[in-house]
């Protein structure tokens, strides 16, 4: 029945054009299960209800302001439980987020910067979350184990990389850079849950907000390849390790919901399509294909965790995904170089187009996984 209530919620969004539509039934007063409307403006963030029952919570955010806004639901420590980015003025967007009983914060971010306009939010009761389905529960447990396996490698590899930078051993640091990043890129959707840590660790020069320093992997990449001077990189390297340690501890304790898993699998491929194929991610080192491979592996791990559910509910989708993953692996496999990969700038435009085509071919079926999981 969850699906039906979602469709009703979509209809309620049409209030702004009620002159042309049959008015939908107003929500019953005192209803604690229906969608929650959020009126966002440049100065306010009015959340229709500050309390709701546990389960899948739907927010419909209408941006009545003049600035582009974002909406977040945070758990303790600014852990992002769900977010909608890029809500243009005049638009209404929907956020579905699975919440168990506890206290949370909501936030609108007009202008998409800063801590945003916060509000307290409480979830009561113990409505069975989606994971009550045994196969889905196993999926989240399975993926949690995958995360732990990756963080178990991410931490020591980052330590080695940082040690090489601090020792002034540029050659060793350059060799370790794409390897440490592989473990990072495989689980990036998890990392993105933890607010500010992602840009600190993996931010690129142009995405750093005003007042924030350019730190992390890409800053060290710039020092190593472009500036060719790591004599002053020690503090940046130390900070990277501190940040990676923090995210590893948080990620290990994290259990992604099945929907997060499905969306994460798609987001990893979006990362490939928008950042890696273009060579933007590793613009100084051109080691984008390492990240490319890692994103695809991470995406596959998410899908595999969901496989029992998908096989039961959409076997033809599983077949399509298997074929598409195999095609990506074949196309990428042509660019192996030793234990690693060719550099981005060694590929011809035709070779990059082939990679783009196979990623598009995979991302379309993957974009259907979330709806199957949510059934």
Partner 1 sequence: MVSRRVALTAAGVGIAGVAGAAAVGAAMMDDERSPASASPGDAVAFYGEHQAGIVTPAQDRLHFASFDVITKDRAKLVEMLREWTAAAARMTQGRDAGLLGAVGGQAEAPPDDTGEALGLPASGLTLTIGFGRSLFRDAAGTDRFGIADRLPAALEALPHFPGDALRPEISDGDLCVQACANDPQVAVHAIRNLARIGFGTVSIRYSQLGFGRTSSTSREQATARNLMGFKDGTRNLKLEDTDLLREQLWARAEDGAAWMAGGSYLVTRRIRMTVETWDRTPLAEQEAIFGRDKGEGAPLGQAKEFDEPDFAVKGADGEPVIAKQAHIRLAHPDFNNGAHLLRRGYNFVDGSDGLGRLDAGLFFIAYQRDPRKQFVPVQRSLARADILNEYIRHVSSGLWACPPGVTGDGDHWGRALFA
Interaction of residue 317 with partner 1, rule CB under 8 A: no
The pair of three-digit structure tokens given for residue 332, joined into one six-digit string: 């990428």
Strands across the sheet containing 79-87: 51-53, 117-124, 102-108, 69-75, 79-87
* 325 contact partners, CB below 8 Å, separation of at least 6: 296, 300, 303, 362
Per rule CB under 8 A, is residue 16 in the interface with partner 1?
yes
Q: Report if residue 334 touches partner 1, rule: CB under 8 A.
A: no
Q: In b/e form, how buried is each residue of 103-129, taking b as 16+ CB within 10 angstroms?
A: ebbbbbbbeeeeebbebebebeeebeb
Q: With binding defined as CB under 8 A, does residue 103 bind partner 1? A: no
Under the binding rule (CB under 8 A), the answer on residue 357 touching partner 1 is: yes
Per the DSSP assignment, residues forming a β-bridge with 104 are: 121
Single residue of 99, 136, 236, 259 touching partner 1 by CB under 8 A: 259
Q: State how far the Cα of 37 lies from the Cα of 169, in Å rounded to an integer.
A: 55
Q: Is the torsion defined by CA of 21, 42, 270, 374 positive or negative?
A: negative
Question: Is residue 20 at the binding interface for partner 1, with CB under 8 A as the rule?
Answer: yes
> Of these, 21, 103, 330, 346, which contacts partner 1 (CB under 8 A)?
21
The answer for 50, left when phi > 0, alpha when psi is -120 to 50, beta otherwise, is alpha
Stretch that binds partner 1, among 106-114, 152-160, 273-281, 367-375 (CB under 8 A): 367-375
Q: How far is the CB of 76 from partner 1 (least distance, A)?
A: 27
Residue from 10, 33, 100, 149 touching partner 1 (CB under 8 A): that is: 10
Applying CB under 8 A, which part among 4-12, 151-159, 180-188, 239-247 lies near partner 1?
A: 4-12
Residue 324 is a binding residue for partner 1 (CB under 8 A): yes
- 81-100: which residues touch partner 1 (CB under 8 A)? 90-94, 96
Q: Which of 24, 48, 119, 234 binds partner 1 (CB under 8 A)?
A: 24
Q: Distance between CA atoms of 183 and 173, rounded to whole angstroms? A: 16
Q: What radius of gyration do the chain's Cα atoms show?
A: 22
Binding stretches for partner 1 (CB under 8 A): 3, 6-7, 9-14, 16-17, 19-22, 24, 60, 62, 90-94, 96, 259, 324, 327, 349, 353-354, 356-358, 360-364, 367-368, 370-371, 373-374
């Amino acid at each position: 029945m969850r699906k039906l209530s979602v469709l009703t919620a979509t209809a309620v969004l049409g209030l702004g054009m009620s002159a042309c539509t049959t008015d939908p039934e107003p929500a019953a007063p005192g209803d604690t299960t229906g969608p929650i409307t959020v009126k966002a403006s440049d100065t306010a963030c009015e959340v229709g209800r500050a309390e709701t029952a546990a389960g899948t919570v739907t927010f419909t955010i209408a941006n009545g302001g003049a600035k582009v806004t974002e909406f977040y639901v945070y758990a303790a420590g600014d852990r992002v439980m769900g977010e909608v980015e890029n809500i243009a003025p005049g638009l209404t967007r929907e956020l579905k987020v699975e919440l168990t009983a506890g206290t949370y914060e909501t936030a609108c971010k007009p202008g998409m910067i800063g801590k945003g306009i916060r509000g307290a939010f409480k979830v009561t009761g113990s409505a069975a979350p989606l994971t009550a389905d045994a196969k889905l529960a196993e999926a989240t447990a399975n993926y949690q184990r995958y995360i732990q396996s990756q963080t178990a490698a991410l931490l020591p590899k980052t330590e080695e990389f940082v040690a090489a930078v601090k020792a002034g051993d540029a050659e060793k640091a350059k060799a370790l850079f794409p390897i440490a990043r592989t473990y990072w890129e495989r689980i990036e959707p998890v990392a993105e849950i933890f607010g500010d840590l992602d840009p600190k660790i993996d931010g690129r020069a142009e995405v750093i907000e005003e007042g924030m320093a350019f730190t992390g992997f890409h800053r060290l990449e710039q020092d190593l390849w472009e500036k060719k001077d790591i004599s002053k990189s020690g503090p940046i390297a130390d900070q990277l390790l501190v940040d990676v340690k923090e995210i590893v501890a948080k990620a290990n304790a994290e259990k992604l919901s099945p929907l997060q898993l499905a969306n994460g699998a798609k987001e990893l491929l979006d990362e490939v399509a928008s950042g890696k194929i273009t060579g933007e991610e590793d613009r100084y080192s051109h080691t984008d294909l390492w990240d490319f491979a890692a994103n695809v592996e991470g995406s596959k791990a998410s899908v595999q965790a969901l496989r029992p559910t998908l096989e039961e509910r959409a076997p033809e989708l599983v077949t399509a995904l298997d074929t598409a993953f195999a095609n990506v692996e074949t196309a990428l496999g042509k660019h192996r170089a030793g234990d690693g990969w060719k550099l981005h700038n060694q590929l011809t435009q035709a070779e990059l187009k082939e990679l783009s085509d196979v990623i598009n071919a995979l991302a379309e079926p993957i974009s259907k996984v979330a709806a199957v999981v949510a059934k």
